């Protein structure tokens, strides 16, 4: 890394245009590579995986150039929630908010600041200019002293300098404009985050709750000391408006270690199941998938790969049952001890 005093730079529009040209070239290469890979059948699992689903798939994107940009703006949030879930929808909304916020703030702030920077030194005399340009002259090859000609020459070749805050005197009232914009940007961003958080809670409460216990239960780890009792923890979630708490079960450190071990094994079984299904997909021409799914649902294994799928599904279900069993308060007296973990079940 280099500072502005030691870095080599060109303080003119030529340097800016050169940097802009390099950025455009890199962007063009990335976009062309993306458009090519998106059209390859072998890459659709990476660039558009949800379009390959057999159940509730996402509509395929057109093959025209930049079709993915228009499809993003055509997305309806309600349909997006049904397709990918609330968490992914909120993440996409956050990315949209970032882009919109950046565009609005740039259109509002940049013209004001650039015009202020450009006209900020109109009251400077030659000595002030010489002082301000002394730092930037270190990059120049000529060590000659400043005079009016040198200052005018440097002034004509320092366009970027005049567009920066360095052109504003330290004691100038114009500096407070930057402070005001800083507060405006920070407060607007905090307000947007707060509004999205409230809306996220409302959407979360509107989601259909599953009837199964493990679909309504959340494992909370590293609970603070002040919340390590059922009443305090229940009051915490009620104040957060996450949902109505049905019951809270405190668990011991021994039990939480068992749960973490089971969840780790369960994740490995899921990865093994995904790998097996990917291998089977390579032989999809030889498999009647409708018949295969019917047999799997009835646990009718008719060849070796199907037997492995059934075995992995049974192991995953057994682990789910074991996690539920560990919730039982009668399993051990240690459940009644205040610990740093708890199961929270919502209605």
Tokens of 195: 């509004």
| DSSP code string of 235-286 | HHHHHHTS--EEEEEEE-HHHHHHHHHHHHHHHHHHHHHHHHHHHHHTTGGG
Residue 121: predicted pLDDT? 59
pLDDT at 24 over 80: yes
pLDDT at 61 over 90: no
Handedness of CA 76, 82, 86, 87 (dihedral sign): negative
Q: What mean pLDDT comes out for the span 192-205?
A: 86
Q: In the chain, what are the domain boundaries? A: 253-331
Model-wide pTM > 0.85: no
Q: What mean pLDDT comes out for the span 233-261?
A: 79
Least confident of 146-160, 178-192, 230-244, 318-332: 146-160
pLDDT category of residue 249 using cuts at 50, 70 and 90: confident
pLDDT category of residue 117 using cuts at 50, 70 and 90: confident
Higher pLDDT, 71 or 132: 71
| pLDDT > 90 fraction of the chain, expressed in percent and rounded | 9
pLDDT at 301 over 80: no
The residues, any chain, with a CB within 8 Å of residue 191's CB and separated by 6 or more, are none
Residue 126: predicted pLDDT? 47
Helix (H) / strand (E) element for 179: namely helix 175-206
d(CA 217, CA 347) in angstroms, rounded, equals 9
Higher pLDDT, 10 or 307: 307
């Amino acid at each position: 890394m280099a500072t502005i005093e030691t870095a080599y730079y060109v303080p003119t529009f030529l340097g800016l245009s050169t940097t802009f040209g390099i950025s455009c070239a890199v962007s063009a290469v990335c976009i062309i590579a993306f458009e090519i890979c998106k059209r390859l059948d072998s890459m659709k699992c990476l660039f558009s995986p949800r379009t390959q689903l057999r159940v509730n798939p996402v509509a395929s994107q057109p093959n025209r150039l930049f079709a993915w940009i228009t499809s993003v703006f055509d997305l309806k949030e309600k349909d997006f929630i049904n397709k990918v879930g609330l968490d992914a929808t909120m993440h996409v909304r956050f990315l949209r908010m970032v882009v919109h916020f950046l565009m609005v703030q740039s259109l509002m702030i940049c013209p004001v600041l650039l015009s202020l920077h450009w006209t900020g030194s109109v009251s400077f005399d030659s000595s002030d200019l010489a002082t301000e340009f002394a730092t930037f002259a270190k990059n120049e090859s000529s060590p000659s002293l400043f005079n009016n000609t040198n200052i005018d020459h440097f002034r004509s070749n320092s366009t970027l300098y005049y567009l920066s805050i360095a052109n504003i005197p330290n004691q100038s009232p114009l500096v407070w404009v930057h402070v005001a914009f800083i507060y405006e940007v920070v407060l607007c961003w905090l307000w947007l985050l707060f509004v999205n958080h409230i809306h996220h809670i409302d959407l979360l409460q509107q989601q259909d709750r599953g009837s199964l216990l493990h679909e309504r239960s959340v494992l909370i780890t590293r609970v603070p000391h002040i919340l390590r009792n059922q009443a305090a923890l229940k009051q915490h979630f009620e104040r957060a408006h996450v949902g109505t708490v049905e019951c809270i079960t405190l668990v011991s450190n021994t039990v939480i270690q068992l749960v973490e071990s089971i969840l780790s094994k369960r994740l490995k079984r899921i990865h093994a199941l995904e790998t097996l299904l990917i291998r089977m997909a390579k032989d999809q021409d030889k498999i009647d998938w409708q018949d295969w799914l019917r047999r799997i649902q009835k646990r009718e294994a008719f060849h070796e790969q199907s037997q492995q799928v059934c075995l992995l599904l049974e192991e995953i279900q057994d682990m789910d049952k074991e996690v539920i069993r560990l919730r039982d308060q009668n399993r051990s007296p240690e459940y009644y001890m205040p610990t740093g973990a708890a199961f929270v079940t919502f209605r």
